[in-house]
């Protein structure tokens, strides 16, 4: 891709001088200059001001009308990125930095104690980071107190998970004392974390709300509206999003029931679902069996997808069980990009919790969603493309990323990798994504209670109580509106592919199509639509010229 020096400079300057302040940044944090993330309101405001200046410059450059398509796309992505930065500032008081999803303290602690200390320079660097950890914990505590003074407290359910995670960290804090000279700073870190646990489990907990949902907080409704725009690139009202969820859920459940009938199941939708859920054939009986099966799913698709794509990422990928602590906060697991200096493999860390209860027929689709040709494929193509500015390497729009990943899991059917029961499992996951449109809007904007949401998921999914609980806390404390992005994005990718096939007919080239829509990484859906229109025009011109 050819990006002009002027456009590349403005992109690089913005990225070098701003902080995303989100969970992706924490996962990727490498302690630059020995520092911890600056999550302060002051830093958020400075970023806000820089974003406004950058956006004005972007608008000036776009107004010239003499840019290439590539430069226009990069500048428009920058404009969206500036919008995210401004929202980080506007959302600051309603955002809970210390929650069970981000796991800021456990994540940064593990990164710190994994640093090399073999040389004197490495030990000096490590000690600098260790000294910075107690002030960082103090900042998190101070923000909790300041939020509480504004009647913004984490719900009790979120507090429970945070306390559990902090207790687990407390058991490991002694690992910070890695060589002579670390004793005092390790002791201070132990004391700071203990004080934080005492705060969250004491008076703070007693006064925390039992209800969940952003709508209960001052400014919460406004935050939720902003986050709808962030995650699905539109200004739809919660009522309209929920109505679409009900509509799509009915379609998916009808398709599931049709597959079940073909498998010989009788009865109502719920009766069939419960019968499949209870079938011991669809359980994994040990983490080892699960590891072998998931690895097998990955190996099955590897040699096939080359027929659909013109490029493959250099980084390999695999599966591994996540930690027991993470299993308490995450229903199924998560994908982790390759980390420079640690490995060159993207890993899907799966949860092996409750193996005696969790029906696993959806896991084949999950592996394709998380790895190939899903997240691992899409994210690493962007990360490895040196022609793209860094801001594109790290820009992450959930509706695109998970819309693509759901499209990728659907390719399992296209590539004839699913038996009917796997397809039922894939659709059971899709039905849950439809439920997310209903539940997320219900809890955060439309007055639903935890019990109401729980009962709805029990009626429409095969999830256990623990899976449901961690999901509901995630929606309302860690990532409000993020759950909307999965189904919304998947509908967008589905409709885009259909349109390309109809308009290009027999000349549709799947490799060229994938190359086009993957070109700019995980961009907002409205910009993807604009680029898609450009792609269609280019393809039609190419086809006409070849006739």
Residue 518's contacts (CB-CB under 8 Å, 6 or more residues apart) are 378, 381, 382, 404
Instruction: Give the pLDDT score at 20.
Output: 59
What pLDDT, on a 0 to 100 scale, did the predictor assign at position 64? Answer: 93
How far is the C-alpha of 117 from the C-alpha of 127, rounded, in Å?
Answer: 10
Q: For the stretch 108-137, what's the b/e string if a residue is b when 16 or more beta carbons lie within 10 angstroms of its beta carbon?
A: bbebbbeeebeeeeebebbbebbebbbebb
Residue 405, CA atoms < 13 Å, CB-side half-sphere: 26
As a whole number of angstroms, the distance between CA 433 and CA 528 comes to 21
At a CB cut-off of 8 Å and minimum separation 6, what does 229 contact? Answer: 83, 235
Q: Report the percentage of the chain scoring pLDDT > 90.
A: 84
Cα Rg, the chain, nearest whole Å:
24
What string of DSSP letters covers 66-92? ---HHHHHHHHHHHHHHHHHHHHHHTG
How does pLDDT run across 23-45, given as a tens digit for each residue? 557 877 889 889 999 999 999 99
90-95: long-range contacts (C-beta < 8 A, 24 or more apart)?
90/223, 90/226, 91/223, 91/226, 91/227, 92/41, 92/44, 93/147, 93/150, 93/152, 93/219, 94/152, 94/214, 94/217, 94/219, 94/220, 94/223, 95/223
| pTM assigned to the model | 0.89
Task: List the chain domain ranges.
Answer: 5-218, 227-488
Q: Give percent above pLDDT 70 in the chain.
A: 97
Closest-CA residue to 374 (of 490, 225, 483, 458)? 490
pLDDT of residue 411: 95
- For 237-246, b where at least 16 C-beta lie within 10 A, e where not — what string? ebeebbebbe
Average pLDDT, the chain: 93
Residue 344: predicted pLDDT: 81
Q: In what order do the strands lie in the sheet with 333-336?
A: 316-321, 345-350, 333-336
The answer to whether 87 touches 313, Cβ cutoff 8 Å, is no
| Per-residue pLDDT of the chain in tens (547 residues, 90 and over written 9) | 899 999 999 999 988 888 655 555 787 788 988 999 999 999 999 999 999 999 999 999 999 989 999 999 999 999 999 999 999 999 999 999 988 777 899 999 999 999 999 999 999 999 999 999 999 999 999 999 999 999 999 999 999 989 999 999 999 999 999 999 999 999 999 999 999 999 999 999 999 999 999 999 999 999 999 999 999 998 899 999 999 999 999 999 999 999 999 999 999 999 999 999 999 999 999 999 999 999 999 999 999 999 999 999 999 999 999 987 777 656 678 898 887 666 789 999 999 988 988 889 999 999 999 999 999 999 999 999 999 998 888 888 999 999 999 999 999 999 999 999 999 999 999 999 999 999 999 999 999 999 999 999 999 998 888 888 888 888 788 789 999 999 999 999 999 999 999 999 999 999 999 999 999 999 999 999 999 999 999 999 999 999 8
The encoded tokens of residue 193 equal 């974390």
Q: Which pLDDT score, from 0 to 100, does residue 25 have?
A: 75
CA-based max dimension of the chain: 77
Alpha-carbon gap, residue 18 to 44, rounded angstroms: 9
Q: Could you tell me which of 432, 339, 439 has the C-alpha nearest to residue 424? A: 432
Tell me: the pLDDT tens digits for 205-257? 999 999 999 999 999 999 999 999 999 998 899 999 999 999 999 999 999 99
pLDDT at 23: 54
Residues 6+ apart with CB under 8 A from 375: 335, 346, 369, 401, 404, 405
Name residue, tokens 């200390």. 117
Q: Residue 540: its pLDDT value, please? A: 97
d(CA 318, CA 163): 31
Nearest Cα to Cα of residue 147 among 94, 105, 198, 102: 94
Place of tokens 């924490």: 26
The SS3 call for residue 348 is strand
430-443 pLDDT tens trace: 999 999 999 999 99
Beta bridge partners of 359: none
């Amino acid at each position: 891709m050819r990006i002009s020096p002027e456009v590349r400079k403005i992109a690089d300057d913005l990225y070098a001088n701003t902080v995303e302040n989100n969970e992706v940044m924490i996962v990727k944090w490498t302690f630059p200059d020995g520092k911890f993330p600056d999550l302060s309101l002051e830093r958020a405001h400075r970023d806000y001001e820089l974003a406004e200046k950058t956006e004005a410059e972007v608008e000036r450059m776009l107004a010239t009308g003499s840019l290439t398509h590539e430069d226009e796309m990069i500048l428009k992505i920058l404009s969206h990125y500036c919008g995210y930065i401004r929202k980080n500032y506007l959302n600051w008081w309603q955002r809970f930095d210390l929650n069970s999803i981000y796991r800021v303290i456990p994540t940064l602690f593990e990164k710190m104690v994994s640093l090399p200390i073999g040389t004197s320079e490495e030990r000096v660097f490590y000690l600098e980071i260790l000294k910075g950890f107690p002030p960082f914990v103090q900042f998190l505590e101070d923000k909790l107190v300041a939020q509480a003074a504004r009647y913004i407290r984490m719900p009790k359910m979120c507090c429970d998970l945070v306390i559990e995670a902090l207790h687990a960290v407390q058991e490991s804090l002694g690992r910070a004392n890695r060589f002579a000279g670390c004793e005092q700073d390790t002791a201070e870190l132990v004391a700071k974390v203990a004080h934080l646990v005492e705060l969250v489990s004491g008076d703070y907990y007693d006064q925390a709300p039992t209800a969940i949902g952003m709508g209960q907080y001052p400014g919460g409704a406004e935050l939720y509206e902003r986050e709808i725009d962030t995650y699905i690139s539109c200004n739809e009202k919660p009522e309209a999003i929920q109505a679409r969820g009900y509509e799509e859920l009915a379609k998916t459940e009808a398709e599931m029931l049709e597959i079940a009938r073909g498998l010989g199941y009788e009865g109502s939708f719920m009766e069939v679902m419960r019968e499949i859920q209870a079938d011991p054939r669809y359980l994994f009986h040990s983490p080892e069996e699960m590891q072998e099966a998931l690895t097998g799913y990955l190996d099955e698709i590897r040699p096939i997808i080359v027929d659909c794509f013109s490029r493959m990422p250099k980084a390999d990928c695999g599966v591994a069980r996540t930690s027991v602590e993470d299993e308490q906060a995450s229903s199924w697991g998560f994908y982790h990009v390759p980390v420079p200096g640690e490995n060159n493999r993207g890993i899907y860390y799966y949860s092996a919790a409750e193996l005696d209860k969790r029906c696993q027929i959806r896991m084949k689709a999950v592996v394709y969603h998380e790895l190939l040709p899903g997240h691992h494929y899409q994210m690493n193509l962007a990360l490895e493309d040196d022609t793209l500015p860094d801001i594109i390497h790290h820009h992450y729009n959930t509706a695109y990323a998970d819309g693509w990943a759901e499209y990728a899991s659907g390719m399992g059917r296209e590539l004839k990798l699913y038996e009917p029961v796997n397809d039922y499992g894939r659709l059971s996951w899709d039905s849950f994504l439809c439920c997310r449109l209903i539940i997320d809007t219900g809890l955060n904007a439309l007055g639903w209670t935890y019990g109401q949401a729980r009962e709805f998921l029990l009626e429409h999914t095969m999830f256990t109580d623990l899976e449901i609980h961690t999901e509901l806390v995630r929606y309302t404390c860690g990532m409000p509106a993020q759950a909307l992005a999965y189904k919304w994005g998947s509908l967008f990718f589905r409709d885009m592919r259909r349109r390309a096939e109809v308009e290009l007919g027999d000349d549709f080239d799947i490799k060229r199509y994938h190359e086009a829509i993957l070109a700019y990484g995980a961009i907002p859906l409205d910009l993807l639509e604009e680029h898609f229109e450009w792609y269609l025009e280019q393809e039609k011109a190419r086809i006409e010229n070849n006739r």
